[in-house]
Amino acid sequence: MATVYLLGIYAFESLFATLVCVAGSQLEKLRAALLDIRQTRGTSLHDFGGETDEREAAGENNTHSEQFRHMQKQLNNCIRHHQEIKR
Q: Where are the domains of the chain?
A: 26-86
pLDDT in tens, 2-47: 788 888 888 889 999 999 999 899 889 888 888 888 787 666 555 5
Report the alpha-carbon distance of residue 86 to residue 49 in Å, rounded: 38
pLDDT in tens, 54-82: 555 555 556 778 888 888 888 888 888 88
Residues whose CB is less than 8 angstroms from the CB of residue 64 and which lie 6 or more positions away in sequence, other chains included: 48, 52
User: How many whole angstroms from its chain centre is CA 53?
Assistant: 33
